[in-house]
Amino acid sequence: MADMFTVLKQIKETGKKVVGFYCVYAPQELVLAADALGFALCATKEEAIPDGEKTLPRNFCPLIKSSYGFAVTDKCPYFLYSDIIIGETTCDGKKKMFELMQSFKPVHVMKLPQTYLDETDKAYWLNEVRILKDVLEKELGSEITDEKLRAAIKVLNEERRLMQKLAECMKHDPVPMTGQDFLKLMWGRNFVLDRAEFAAQIKAVTQDMEEAIAKGEAAFPKGAKRILVTGVPTGVGSEKVIKIIEDCSAAVVYIENCSGMKQFVTLVDETKPPLAAIAEKYLATPCSCMSPNPIRLENLAKLLKEYRIDGVVDITWQGCHTYNVESRVVKDFLKQNGDTPFLQIETDYSQGDVEQIKTRVQAFLEMMA
């Protein structure tokens, strides 16, 4: 992290602009088309929470407390060197965080509609994307043309295809990579300086996995229980549940949440007008802030079959009410559609409940035997 302070400082001195964002609803194509660097800022480490709690309530979501703690202390180089932050109204907690943040950093908050199903809401969101385009052009001093947007769409669509191909390798039995390593690869995409280099790295990892599969090499023995993780964003530093699952000898073969594969499964339609196509892709993100949220359930149904899932673990951060409520929706859906074993784990970033979670996971896996 210390090196990134120096790297980003040097990059900023060349005149390059930096944009920070907290959610997969932020259209990264617009940032790339503005010739800026974009970085995801959602914090997943416990160390910044005490600083966040100096302002925010203690019973807030840990992701928000950690994010604000890093922002207000300038301990995150990506936030420190951002010229503007893209926020979004996914939850009341983040809305209030952005309100506080505006006192010390330029913040533009995109206002999400309540659903992705209604044509009126789709038109509303397209207008929000247009507004963001105007804001970025003004703040960054760069014209975002349709030509630049089409070029950015191609670059990011190719990244999505590469991540999809990488995820395909996890369908094999025995499983060639741990879920923890798979998470690190997806998490790394949030901090890319050179997109061509990142694409080459993913291609190389995929080739290595395909060669391992051909040789019969694997991270788990054949027949290991296959787990799909869903729920809240789970990044490096807050992956304790994934680690516990794999310490108990089960394989996390798919991470469905928005810090996992959710952001990669849908491409931007390259045949449509670019701004409209971008708006369409991002609004279709099946987040629990949408009500109703049928795409999440439809995607889960497909994934259960494609990845031959033995059990689903739904992670909920304490204070995340939308995912907590929707956990019941997911549980009922799985019960009614094949009765796939389901476990909800409500937790935070601390390590105090590790043994309790381990006991629950062990019982969950034994139930599948």
Question: 106 and 184 share a domain?
Answer: no
pLDDT per residue as tens digits for the range 7-28: 999 999 999 999 999 999 999 9
User: What are the distances in angstroms from CA 248 to CA 115, 183, 223, 230?
Assistant: 38, 18, 14, 18
Of 121, 141, 161, the one marking the end of a domain is 141
- Calculate helix-pair angle for 179-188, 146-168, nearest 10 degrees: 170
Question: 133 and 154 share a domain?
Answer: no
What average pLDDT does the segment 128-140 reach? 98
Is residue 278 very low, low, confident or very high in pLDDT (cuts 50, 70, 90)? very high
CATH number for the domain that contains residue 66: 3.40.50.11890
DSSP sequence for 222-239: TT--EEEEEES---TTS-
Looking at every residue in the chain, the average pLDDT score rounds to: 96
What average pLDDT does the segment 332-336 reach? 97
Contact 313, 229 (CB under 8 A): yes
Backbone dihedral angles phi then psi of residue 101, each to the nearest 5 degrees:
-65, -30
Range of 83's domain?
A: 2-141
The proportion of the chain whose per-residue pLDDT surpasses 70, expressed as a percent, equals: 99
Question: 288 and 160 share a domain?
Answer: yes
pLDDT at 12: 96
Of 141, 175, 191, the one marking the end of a domain is 141
Is residue 113 very low, low, confident or very high in pLDDT (cuts 50, 70, 90)? very high
d(CA 62, CA 42): 10
Question: 345 and 290 share a domain?
Answer: yes
What average pLDDT does the segment 255-273 reach? 96
pLDDT per residue as tens digits for the range 45-104: 999 999 999 999 999 999 999 999 999 999 999 999 999 999 999 999 999 999 999 999
Residue 140 has pLDDT above 80, yes or no: yes
What average pLDDT does the segment 189-201 reach? 94
Side by side, the strands of the sheet bearing 84-88 are 36-40, 17-21, 84-88, 107-110
Residue 134 has pLDDT above 90, yes or no: yes
Is residue 312 very low, low, confident or very high in pLDDT (cuts 50, 70, 90)? very high
Q: Which residue has the tokens 């040789």?
A: 215
pLDDT per residue as tens digits for the range 145-184: 999 999 999 999 999 999 999 999 999 999 999 999 999 9
Domain count, the chain: 2
Is residue 208 very low, low, confident or very high in pLDDT (cuts 50, 70, 90)? very high
What is this structure's pTM? Answer: 0.96
H or E element that contains 21: strand 17-21
Is residue 2 very low, low, confident or very high in pLDDT (cuts 50, 70, 90)? low
d(CA 35, CA 187): 22
Contact 179, 229 (CB under 8 A): yes
Q: Which residues have CB under 8 Å from 132's CB, separation 6+?
A: 27, 30, 86, 108, 110
What average pLDDT does the segment 18-46 reach? 96
The proportion of the chain whose per-residue pLDDT surpasses 90, expressed as a percent, equals: 98
Question: 61 and 207 share a domain?
Answer: no
Question: 126 and 173 share a domain?
Answer: no
Residue 1 has pLDDT above 60, yes or no: no
Of 141, 166, 193, the one marking the end of a domain is 141
Question: 182 and 112 share a domain?
Answer: no
